[in-house]
Amino acid sequence: MDLDNFNEWLTEASREIGAHSMACIRMDNPLLQSRVKENNTLVADWMNREMHGEMDYLERLFLDKSNPWKTFPFAKSVIVLTFSNRWGDPSATHPFPVPAQNAMLGYISAYAREADYHLTGQAMLSQLAKMLGDNIHAQATVDTAAVYERLFATVGGLGEIGSNNLLRVPGSGNSRVFIGCLFVDAELPEVIQDAKMPTECSSCLTCLKKCPSGAIQPGQMFDAKKCLSYLTIEKKGLLSRKEGLSIGDWLFGCDLCTMACPPQVGVDMRIPVDLEWLLKSSSFEIRHTIKGNATAYAGVTQLRKNAVVVLKNIATPRANDLLGWVAEKTGSELIRRQIDLW
């Protein structure tokens, strides 16, 4: 590590570990302190309005997120990186079997291609920590601890928060990036980037137009309860008829607001999944398939519950026959109740 030329060192380290961009912020940075304080007020108001739905863990983590100086008491600096994990690359691989030509399909978000982004980001940050030196204590987080990742990224000048509530960065598909933070016990020189966005959100707003459920609205707080990613991943209970109709053919996540930034004409990078394979294969086979993949977070029952809803939306005799088979064979009370709900 070259502290005298730390900006250049960080740029080279970014290339070496495969990050899209990196910044370094001192924990005593006044802008960081004021931004955290402002964000705490906004997040508290958002949760008081119950716009986070069933994500109770956000309430539990709020105190830790609201005071990173207490949560990471050893930290004097934080290195923030963005990476794509090949999100948005049509040639990126995934573990799901190729569906038959006439298969009934559900879809998984393109960000679930390649290895789970948590694992990819942790590997990058682990490599970076070794490059910093053995005498530096570091703690890596990739959506795995109580951290305002997007806030740190914007303070570091890596991008801006878009209308779709995601971090926008120059290149790399704009809002199709993940964020990692490496908190270190050394007073490193600050490296604050100056991200130049090719387009202004206010002159586009395509993501708002593409959102099928109204989760993102101009000038309003993001309503997680309406977001298809929330409904298919985070909501563990039953989906109402309105919620079920809104998810359409999505099994896990939603690409519509990320594909809109910037618009990708005619490019569908979702992962197609054979619903019959998902519902009739053994739980062991499904778990083996999704191991190390982002969909493992949802788990087999959640994916199958969503598959039942997708079949209801397909509403063909063939789809109804498969629903009947599932109702007879499933050992999940949740799935049985979802079939009977509407």
Give the tens place of pLDDT for each residue, 99-122.
999 999 999 999 999 999 999 999
Q: By three-state DSSP, how is residue 97 classified?
A: coil
Beta-carbon contacts of 199 under 8 Å, excluding residues fewer than 6 positions away, are 262
Measured N-to-C along each axis, helices 6-17 and 117-132 cross at an angle, to the nearest 10 degrees, of: 140
Q: Which residue has the tokens 């063939």?
A: 318
Beta-carbon contacts of 292 under 8 Å, excluding residues fewer than 6 positions away, are 95, 115, 116, 119
Beta-carbon contacts of 119 under 8 Å, excluding residues fewer than 6 positions away, are 292
Amino acid present at 234: E
Calpha distance 47→109 (Å, rounded): 26
Do 75 and 27 form a contact (C-beta atoms < 8 A)?
A: yes
Q: What is the pLDDT of residue 265?
A: 59
* SS3 of the chain: helix, strand, coil, percent, to 5: 45, 10, 40
Do 250 and 310 form a contact (C-beta atoms < 8 A)?
A: yes
Q: Which two tokens stand for residue 27?
A: 């924990």
Residue 26 belongs to what H/E stretch? Answer: strand 21-26
Q: By three-state DSSP, how is residue 131 classified?
A: helix
Pick from 134, 142, 120, 117: which is nearest to 184 by CA? 134
Beta-carbon contacts of 4 under 8 Å, excluding residues fewer than 6 positions away, are none
Do 143 and 149 form a contact (C-beta atoms < 8 A)?
A: yes
pLDDT in tens, 252-280: 999 999 888 876 656 788 999 999 999 99
Calpha distance 181→128 (Å, rounded): 11
Pick from 88, 84, 82, 93: which is nearest to 110 by CA? 88
Using alpha carbons only, how large is the chain's radius of gyration in Å?
A: 21
pLDDT in tens, the chain (342 residues): 778 899 999 999 999 999 999 999 999 999 999 999 999 999 999 999 999 999 999 999 999 999 999 999 999 999 999 999 988 788 899 999 999 999 999 999 999 999 999 999 999 999 999 999 989 999 999 999 999 999 999 999 999 998 899 999 987 667 889 999 999 999 999 999 998 887 788 778 888 888 999 999 888 899 999 999 999 999 999 999 999 999 999 999 999 998 888 766 567 889 999 999 999 999 999 999 999 999 999 999 999 999 999 999 999 999 999 999 999 999 999 999 999 998
Calpha distance 55→49 (Å, rounded): 13
Calpha distance 294→289 (Å, rounded): 11
Q: What is the pLDDT of residue 258?
A: 87
